[in-house]
Structure 1
Amino acid sequence: MAQSQRYRRLAPLALLGAAGIALAGCGAPGAPEGGGDAGGEDVSGETVTIYGTIVDSEAELLQESWADFEEETGIEIKYEGSQDFETQLGTRAQGGNPPDIAIFPQPGLFADFAARDFLKPAPEEVEKNANEYWTEDWVNYGTYDGTFYGAPLMANVKGWIWYSPAKFAEWGVEVPETLDDMAALTETIQGATGAPAWCAGFESGTATGWPGTDWIEDYVLRQAGPDVYDQWVTNEVPFTDPQIKSAFDSVGEILLTPENVNAGFGDVRSINSTAFGDVAPALASGDCALTHQASFLSGFFPEGTNIAEDGDVWAFMLPGESADDSAVTGAGEIVGAFSESAATQQVLAYLSSPEWANSRVSLGGVTSANNGLDPANAQDPILQETIKILQDPDTTFRFDASDLMPGAVGAGTFWKGMVAWVNGSGTDEVLEQIETGWPAG
């Protein structure tokens, strides 16, 4: 549950040029050279502070993930998680009291702190790990103005379509290979059940609307392609562009069509009042047949739900225009440092290594694009599939667009626009309103 909030809680402060990611193949897992002795200096007994958005049970798992490292090095890591991360981090940095390390949930926010000279360039060992275990484009997310400031940490993949394998067998349908196939699948299911095939929920407190932005991002990437997606993120292609409107129209064929939604919850407008996690029990109970959500939806199914290819629920990746398309959207974190201490450098090197990635993933609930990660360490089978996608050299990955856009757009007019759209506002009107969020000049 916390994972979804982590990637949506904060609004990026600055715009970072989008970088395309063609993810590299899987490397062999194992203990890295990273996290060395920082030039031979004795750092035993020193304390390193880390600040991030990760809270509650996930924060406990984060601290557990580096417990062995603390024991081996003698470094004490003090982690603090906050739901007011963006505001508090800026205040602390300006006041000269920043943490040693911060875990940034968006590249845009990371780039803003680098641009303001708050962050220190990453040490050599971190850059070595990044170049060895992460792809060039992931490294680019931690680079600002030609200087490398930090390595990625965790990652996720969005665009999963969740369904019931048993129901698919009962209806005699198969996983679609193209978007056209998915449209036909929707009609077949509705003919067999006499009810809408889809359920969706956009409600998420003050962040209501974000699940809708994920829908649009997935369709822009698959229909218009990665180059247009990158231009959209920087507003070279505005929301009012016909290519973006086309994505809205395609998503609207599902979400704005009463015959297609909102199974188990009500009419089209009930999407805005349905909590995004509430669709999971409805899918498990058979009240709806299909829903679109990231891998973290697995945490919302009732206890005892068997998530497997032949289980109660499973998921396939939203297909593209053709069966050969392999483009996905996702999100992740970048680690940056405000300190150049030897102990901080050791912690940074460890967090950029396969050793840490395997340690954290084995505890459950998260994934990473670190190529030294063994997918078998993920306990959740959907997370195992997510890791395989991230490590597939044929995958085209793009970071969540709304996390790269200025906060006034990505977490502002875009979220609000999705709510207005579902409530009945016309597409052209909504697109024009979203576009007003872009800073002038």
Structure 2
Amino acid sequence: MTPIPTATGRHRRLSAAWAVLALALTAACSNSSGSSGAQAEASPLTGDCAKYQAYAGHAGTKVTMYASILSPESDSLEKSWAEFSSCTGIKITYEGSNDFESQLPVRVAGGNAPDFAIIPQPGLLAQMVKSGKVVKPPAQTVANQDKWSPVWKTYGSVNGTFYAAPMSANMKSLVWYSPKAFKQAGYQVPKTWAEMMALSDRIAASGTTRPWCGGIGSGTATGWPATDWLEEVVLGSYGGEVYDQWVSHKVKFSDEKITTAMGTVAGWMQNPAWVNGGIGDVKSIATTTFQDAGAPILTGKCAMLQQASFYRAQWPKGTSIAPDGDIFAFHLPAVSPTVSSPVVGGGEFLAAFAGRPEVQAVQNYLSSSDWASSRVKVSSGWVSANQGVDKSLYTDPIDRISADALTDPAATFRFDASDLMPAAVGAGAEWKAFTAWFAEGQAIPKVAADIDAAWPQ
């Protein structure tokens, strides 16, 4: 659906007297939410709604939200602001799309930008800021960043200027498996990369299942799960310094370190004896959606899936997710034992394309600890690095694993590399080249050269 256009710029001819009266009425109905300068105090909210007083005074308004988040995850997202919307009278119209990354620039360039976009790639955020259409956040949103580690503010900034508040954090360095199936077969959760490779050989030799399944299909974002696999291997092989140099292109994709890491990925996720359990051959990984990739674990056709913490939302309702349940996850081991607890993480950032009072009120709320706590409460599979969230709210064990890893001072943490790279690379050429790598068996040197060639000069 097309976002509902705003009323900004729409004018009516009024007599001078009526214009004065209209301005007076507007001032009387406004509030002082801290989002748009001096305004009259809003009518007090009562009962359970009293906690939203700072955002009141915009009843009957509407804002549009656009993102790549789809159902069922988007269902809990909308629940997280339902009470806020009901109490303040600000309607938030949400649209999720598999084509978000390609369509957002089109909409912005065409003058049809949403009020908000939830952007998971800092590289795409930089592209949008360059368009001149992103509106800087209000003072309260900026103040709310005190509850986040300072590094997160840098991810929401472009050239040192803050534009987009972080909303979520996720741990990508997880492997999903079935504890029940492992116990029945006598398998142990691997603690090292060597143990994981040996386990993969053992499972493949059993003849009853394949050790790995995977899918990189995601609409116009097809290919992104494969970029995660390379990021895990680069960080887990060489540590943070090489990873940072790779993100900035000081170390190119064609560098021996990166092509060696790609060879490690190929030996893992392109091994015909190991993949794609219950689905098909290696090429089927390119045509399988990431949402469907883990399903064969529940039918015993596949043993493991490397996916992020947010994959929890993809398991069918009623699935027991626990250390002794149908499904659980373990921390993906480092490729090299010299790298301390590598963690690749991601996140989402709220960028505004409008500065109306109701838009800024929503922006202030969605950047607060109160909203983050509400989001944690409505569903499992979502984690925030907002330090104002009480960790006891994480009742799901996967969420606790993720929250602990993301805040572990001994961990080697880095943000998703493709999300940090220029959008033309990380959300474009790399996805396309990695899809060809899996779908067509394209050679590693060709894949690397194609990505390097797309890097902005």
- Structure 1 85/174 Cα, relative in aligned 2: closer, same or farther at 3 Å? closer
> Which position in structure 2 is the counterpart of 1:419?
435
Equivalent AA in structure 2 for residue 431 of structure 1: A
TM-score relative to the length of structure 2: 0.78
Deviation sequence 1:242-287 (CA, Å, 0-9, x none): 1111211111112222222222233333323333333322111211
Give the Å deviation of 1:89.
5.2
Deviation sequence 1:159-193 (CA, Å, 0-9, x none): 31111212322343322222122112222333445
> Which position in structure 2 is the counterpart of 1:429?
446
Q: Which runs of no fewer than 5 residues in structure 1 stay unpaired? A: 1-34
Answer whether contact 2:116 2:352 (CA < 8 A) is retained. yes
Query: How do residues 135-174 of structure 1 correspond to structure 2 at under 5 angstroms?
Result: 135-174=149-188
> Which position in structure 1 is the counterpart of 2:123?
108
Deviation sequence 1:348-404 (CA, Å, 0-9, x none): 222111110111221115322212223443464323322332233333332222223
Answer whether contact 1:65 1:356 (CA < 8 A) is retained. yes
| 1:352 pairs with 2:367 | yes
Equivalent AA in structure 2 for residue 263 of structure 1: G
| 1:296 pairs with 2:313 | no
> Which position in structure 2 is the counterpart of 1:402?
418
> Which position in structure 1 is the counterpart of 2:3?
none
> Which position in structure 1 is the counterpart of 2:409?
393
> Which position in structure 1 is the counterpart of 2:397?
381
- Structure 1 97/165 Cα, relative in aligned 2: closer, same or farther at 3 Å? closer
Mapped to 1, the partners of 2:327 and 2:102 lie a distance apart of 39
- Structure 1 374/438 Cα, relative in aligned 2: closer, same or farther at 3 Å? same
- Structure 1 191/126 Cα, relative in aligned 2: closer, same or farther at 3 Å? same
Mapped to 2, the partners of 1:368 and 1:382 lie a distance apart of 13
- Structure 1 59/166 Cα, relative in aligned 2: closer, same or farther at 3 Å? closer
**SS of 2:176 mapped into structure 1:** strand
Deviation sequence 1:280-318 (CA, Å, 0-9, x none): 221112111122112233333344321111101211121
**SS of 1:177 mapped into structure 2:** coil
- Structure 1 406/150 Cα, relative in aligned 2: closer, same or farther at 3 Å? closer
Mapped to 2, the partners of 1:102 and 1:405 lie a distance apart of 19
Equivalent AA in structure 2 for residue 325 of structure 1: S
The partner residue of 2:57 within 36, 40, 44 is 44
Mapped to 2, the partners of 1:65 and 1:257 lie a distance apart of 42
Answer whether contact 1:319 1:325 (CA < 8 A) is retained. no
Quick check: which has more Rg, 1 or 2? 2
Answer whether contact 2:118 2:351 (CA < 8 A) is retained. yes
Query: How do residues 300-319 of structure 1 correspond to structure 2 at under 5 angstroms?
Result: 300-319=314-333
> Which position in structure 2 is the counterpart of 1:257?
271
- Structure 1 190/231 Cα, relative in aligned 2: closer, same or farther at 3 Å? same
Answer whether contact 1:50 1:103 (CA < 8 A) is retained. no
| 1:66 pairs with 2:81 | yes
Equivalent AA in structure 2 for residue 318 of structure 1: L
- Structure 1 337/171 Cα, relative in aligned 2: closer, same or farther at 3 Å? same
Equivalent AA in structure 2 for residue 102 of structure 1: A
**SS of 1:277 mapped into structure 2:** coil
Deviation sequence 1:23-44 (CA, Å, 0-9, x none): xxxxxxxxxxxx9555674351
> Which position in structure 2 is the counterpart of 1:329?
344
Answer whether contact 1:196 1:260 (CA < 8 A) is retained. yes
The root-mean-square deviation of aligned C-alpha atoms, in Å, is 2.9
**SS of 1:203 mapped into structure 2:** coil
Answer whether contact 1:48 1:100 (CA < 8 A) is retained. no
User: Percent identity at matched positions?
Assistant: 42
Give the Å deviation of 1:130.
0.6
> Which position in structure 1 is the counterpart of 2:287?
273
- Structure 1 323/429 Cα, relative in aligned 2: closer, same or farther at 3 Å? closer
Equivalent AA in structure 1 for residue 148 of structure 2: W
- Structure 1 252/51 Cα, relative in aligned 2: closer, same or farther at 3 Å? same
- Structure 1 310/236 Cα, relative in aligned 2: closer, same or farther at 3 Å? same
Answer whether contact 1:115 1:144 (CA < 8 A) is retained. no
Mapped to 2, the partners of 1:122 and 1:400 lie a distance apart of 24
- Structure 1 55/182 Cα, relative in aligned 2: closer, same or farther at 3 Å? closer
> Which position in structure 1 is the counterpart of 2:388?
372
> Which position in structure 1 is the counterpart of 2:378?
363
Answer whether contact 1:197 1:261 (CA < 8 A) is retained. yes
> Which position in structure 1 is the counterpart of 2:138?
123
